[in-house]
Structure 1
């Protein structure tokens, strides 16, 4: 009888608690003429299982608390064997308290998502050593996603995960694949994690907490208060040096938040809209045409 109870409790525990990420993986290959797409299907399954069945945090999360993500990998070149040249679109979101809506936290395109993989190959990963590029890519972004999500729930809560992502990057410095090194590109994995660990960019990380926890999560109970809290947080963008406005982390932040900010403040009063318009155009000039929506008469 005790054994039966133990089995039931173990089953209940497995059902109640899940791993950390809920990633929907999609592999597209519009440029690939090879008619045998079975290896791509096997690759999609292997990536999904690697990310979703592994613990990336120190927390015990219930299944409904897992971080929702989308990973779309587009194969640009494939030799029909183990060599893949790809780009990847990564999206993650977190729920907004008291609503059925989610808020985008990460929106990023990696144009150098290249790797070797053979069908049936186990995807091994070690925090201490570089084993293969695919598992390092997936682990790096898993830690970044968890870190950003943690930053939205507690002030600077993602620090430990950015440190782990930095370790993955350090271990990959001798890899032959692109995207890991500073000199290759100003907007790659090196600069993403450099920015996240750089104290100069703390204002953006602090905004993530104020924006979500004190802003969006409050809006379901007090719309004006939540919106005001977001409006009070955004001026921290002005704390960033002008030379840093084209940086990787700025790009990631505005890619995820520009449309949402416009939606939030388009319902505000004229003075509030004008304030946010001036702030965002100054901080994110690349999206000036989008912010023109805030100037329209409501």
Structure 2
């Protein structure tokens, strides 16, 4: 588990506390033709600095605890003034204990991204106010990343970050954009509201069981790690029992399907009969992958 206490000796010796994210930002502008590319270079630089220099959480991260993440914008419309539309692929990962492997904790494609931006404008964020759609979208996903990462180290460890994300959603509803409201489907509103709803507590327990309880012991005991992943999948089935085809279940498998396939097709053998049954029920869209797991 991360240690968040700042020790004076660490500060003196150079292990200075750092912001939470190690983020990269990229733009694909191939669909908007011959536009002013300089504005995208400026925006990329500004967003990268905004993400990496903002103090998002109350707890303190050490430099080696920064969360690696990426924000990939696919711009489909730009009016050459200040209005942008497109999608945003957000990905984040965390290291696995005693290994060089990093595991995906979030891989989500937000297809409803609209914002206004004037080159060189300041990006100043206040959790208690709505200032722009761009800031709200970026801050929302920054908090979701931090929350999921924290949940992977401690049961319900991401509560504060999810509360912040929920506040951002509530304030952004002034825009009446469906991505922020309950009128949409599988959007930002539902992503964070489901995450903090009591119904989905088994989902958050599964995040912890899967990461700290399973992946983090794989290096020393791969068979026990596999058994604990089976337990995490069982927690997910508790959600499916009351919310079939839940959005959070889809979000989980968008990040984990390839990894789960690799885990159960490599290393020491465990009984996978129940695993395959659970996987096909939880994520039928990945049935071709689950079919590669041998009994």
| Contact kept in structure 2, 1:265 and 1:276, CA below 8 Å | no
Corresponding position: 1:204 with 2:203: yes
| Contact kept in structure 2, 1:274 and 1:294, CA below 8 Å | no
Alpha-carbon shift at residue 92 of structure 1 (Å): 0.4
Alpha-carbon distance in structure 2 between the residues aligned to 1:270 and 1:149: 29
Alpha-carbon shift at residue 234 of structure 1 (Å): 1.3
Alpha-carbon distance in structure 2 between the residues aligned to 1:287 and 1:42: 39
Alpha-carbon distance in structure 2 between the residues aligned to 1:153 and 1:270: 26
| Contact kept in structure 2, 1:91 and 1:106, CA below 8 Å | yes
Q: Which runs of 5+ in 1 are unaligned?
A: 1-8
The 1:166–1:33 alpha-carbon spacing in structure 2 relative to 1, beyond 3 Å, is same
Corresponding position: 1:70 with 2:70: yes
1:114 alignment partner, SS class: strand
Alpha-carbon shift at residue 119 of structure 1 (Å): 0.2
Deviations for 1:26-52, whole angstroms, at most 9, x for unmatched residues?
A: 011111112430001001111111111
Alpha-carbon shift at residue 70 of structure 1 (Å): 1.0
| Contact kept in structure 2, 1:87 and 1:111, CA below 8 Å | yes
| Contact kept in structure 1, 2:70 and 2:90, CA below 8 Å | yes
Q: Equivalences for 1:1-298 in 2 at 5 Å?
A: 16-183=16-183, 185-242=184-241, 244-267=243-266, 272-295=271-294
Alpha-carbon distance in structure 2 between the residues aligned to 1:172 and 1:145: 19
Alpha-carbon distance in structure 2 between the residues aligned to 1:252 and 1:13: 40
The 1:115–1:13 alpha-carbon spacing in structure 2 relative to 1, beyond 3 Å, is farther
Q: Which runs of 5+ in 2 are unaligned?
A: 1-8
Deviations for 1:238-286, whole angstroms, at most 9, x for unmatched residues?
A: 2124462322211111101111111111136666222211110011112
Question: How many residues get paired?
Answer: 287
Alpha-carbon distance in structure 2 between the residues aligned to 1:279 and 1:95: 26
Q: Greater Rg, structure 1 or structure 2?
A: 1
Alpha-carbon distance in structure 2 between the residues aligned to 1:240 and 1:15: 41
| Contact kept in structure 1, 2:223 and 2:268, CA below 8 Å | no
Structure 1 stretch 228-237 or stretch 189-198: which is displaced more? 228-237
Alpha-carbon shift at residue 116 of structure 1 (Å): 0.2
| Contact kept in structure 2, 1:133 and 1:177, CA below 8 Å | no
Deviations for 1:93-131, whole angstroms, at most 9, x for unmatched residues?
A: 000000011000001000011100000100121111101
Alpha-carbon distance in structure 1 between the residues aligned to 2:236 and 2:17: 38
Structure 1 stretch 117-126 or stretch 13-22: which is displaced more? 13-22
Alpha-carbon shift at residue 204 of structure 1 (Å): 1.1
The 1:236–1:214 alpha-carbon spacing in structure 2 relative to 1, beyond 3 Å, is same
1:173 alignment partner, SS class: helix
How does the TM-score come out when normalised to structure 1? 0.91
Q: CA RMSD in A?
A: 2.0
Alpha-carbon distance in structure 2 between the residues aligned to 1:99 and 1:37: 40
Alpha-carbon distance in structure 2 between the residues aligned to 1:146 and 1:268: 31
